[in-house]
Amino acid sequence: MTKIYSKAIKTSQSIQMIRMGNIVSDIVQESSIQTGVVNIITLHTTTGITVNEGLDCLELDIVDLLKKLVPDESPYVHAHFLPSYGRTSANATSHLRGLLLGNNAVFPIQNGKVLFGGAQEIYLVELDGPQERKISIVVSGD
Amino acid sequence: MIIDVHAHPYFLKEMCGSEEQVKFRRDNFGLYKIALQDIDLFKRQIAAAGIDKVVLLPLDLSSTAGGTLMSNHDMKYLEDLAPDTFICFGSIDPNSKTALSDLRTLIKDFGLKGINFNPSSQHFFPNDKAILYPVYEIAQKYNVPICFHMGMSWEPNSLLQYANPLLLENVAKDFPDLKFSISHFGWPWVVESCILAMKYTNVYIDTSMLYFDSPREFFKYVFSSQIQPSWIDRSLSNKVLFGSNYPRIEQLRMREALEYAGFREETLHKILELNPIRFLNLQGEYYDQNIF
| Distance from C-alpha of B199 to C-alpha of B185, rounded to nearest angstrom | 15
Range of the domain at A60: 2-73+83-141
Nearest CA-CA distance, residue A17 and chain B, Å: 15
Amino acid at B172: A
pLDDT of B284 reads 73
Q: Are B185 and B151 in contact (CB under 8 A)?
A: yes
Give me the number of domains chain A comprises.
1
Band of residue B289 on the pLDDT scale cut at 50, 70, 90: very low
| Distance from C-alpha of B253 to C-alpha of B256, rounded to nearest angstrom | 5
pLDDT of B49 reads 98
At B18, give phi and psi (nearest 5°).
Answer: -150, 160
Q: Is the pLDDT of residue B290 over 90?
A: no
Mean pLDDT score of chain B:
95
Q: Is the pLDDT of residue B288 over 80?
A: no
Amino acid at B49: A
DSSP per-residue letters across B97-129: TTHHHHHHIIIIIS--S-EEE-HHHHT--TT-H
Find, in chain A, the residue whose alpha carbon is nearest to that of B45: A130
Task: For residue B37, give the nearest of A86, A87, A132 by CB distance.
Answer: A132
| Inter-CA distances, B57 with A128, A138, B21, B60, B149, Å | 25, 43, 17, 10, 11
Q: In what order do the strands lie in the sheet with B3-7?
A: B3-7, B53-56, B86-88
Q: What domains are defined for chain B?
A: 3-291 (3.20.20.140)
Q: Which of residues 183-212 of B touch A (CB under 8 A)?
A: 210-212
Q: Is the pLDDT of residue A10 over 90?
A: yes
Q: Is the pLDDT of residue A142 over 70?
A: yes
Amino acid at B197: A
Q: What three-state secondary structure class fits A2?
A: strand
Q: Are B104 and B144 in contact (CB under 8 A)?
A: no
* Percent of chain B residues past pLDDT 70, beyond the cut: 97
Q: How many residues does chain A have?
A: 142
A66-79 confidence digits (pLDDT tens): 999 999 999 999 99
| Distance from C-alpha of B257 to C-alpha of B210, rounded to nearest angstrom | 10
Q: Are A11 and A127 in contact (CB under 8 A)?
A: no
| Inter-CA distances, B184 with A64, B54, B189, B207, Å | 34, 16, 10, 6
Which of A140, A132, A81 has the alpha carbon at shortest distance from A108?
A140
User: Is residue B36 within 8 angstroms of chain A, CB to CB?
Assistant: no
Residue B67, exposed/middle/buried by CB under 10 A (0-12, 13-18, 19+)? middle
In a domain, A16, yes or no: yes
In a domain, A123, yes or no: yes
B31-50 confidence digits (pLDDT tens): 999 899 999 999 999 999 99
pLDDT of B283 reads 84
ipTM over 0.95: no
In a domain, A78, yes or no: no
| Distance from C-alpha of B18 to C-alpha of A81, rounded to nearest angstrom | 28
Q: Is the pLDDT of residue B164 over 90?
A: yes
| Distance from C-alpha of B16 to C-alpha of B92, rounded to nearest angstrom | 20
Beta strands B203-206; B240-241: pairing state: parallel
* Percent of chain B residues past pLDDT 90, beyond the cut: 95
Find, in chain B, the residue whose alpha carbon is nearest to that of A132: B41
In a domain, A6, yes or no: yes
Cβ-defined contact of A81 to B211 (cutoff 8 Å) = yes
User: Is residue A8 within 8 angstroms of chain B, CB to CB?
Assistant: no
pLDDT of B39 reads 97
Q: What are the beta bridge partners of residue B12?
A: B37
Angle separating helix axes A92-101 and A56-69, nearest 10 degrees: 120
- As a whole number of Å, the end-to-end CA separation of chain B is 15
Q: Is the pLDDT of residue B11 over 90?
A: yes
In a domain, A14, yes or no: yes
B42-79 confidence digits (pLDDT tens): 999 999 999 999 999 999 999 999 999 999 999 999 99
B219-270 confidence digits (pLDDT tens): 999 999 999 989 999 999 999 999 999 999 999 999 999 999 999 999 999 9
Q: Residues of A with CB below 8 A from B210's CB?
A: 88, 90
Mean pLDDT score of chain A:
97
pLDDT of A75 reads 94
B176-195 confidence digits (pLDDT tens): 999 999 999 999 999 999 99
Task: For residue B44, give the nearest of A10, A72, A73 by CB distance.
Answer: A10
The CATH code of the domain that includes A62 is: 2.60.120.460
| Distance from C-alpha of A96 to C-alpha of B183, rounded to nearest angstrom | 33
Q: Is the pLDDT of residue B292 over 50?
A: no
In a domain, A100, yes or no: yes
| Distance from C-alpha of B242 to C-alpha of B114, rounded to nearest angstrom | 16
Q: Are B61 and A142 in contact (CB under 8 A)?
A: no
A21-68 confidence digits (pLDDT tens): 999 999 999 999 999 999 999 999 999 999 999 999 999 999 999 999
Chain A interface test: which of B45, B157, B220, B250 (most A C-beta within 10 Å): B250
User: Is residue B248 within 8 angstroms of chain A, CB to CB?
Assistant: yes
**Percent helix, strand, coil in chain A (nearest 5)?**
25, 40, 35
- As a whole number of Å, the end-to-end CA separation of chain A is 6
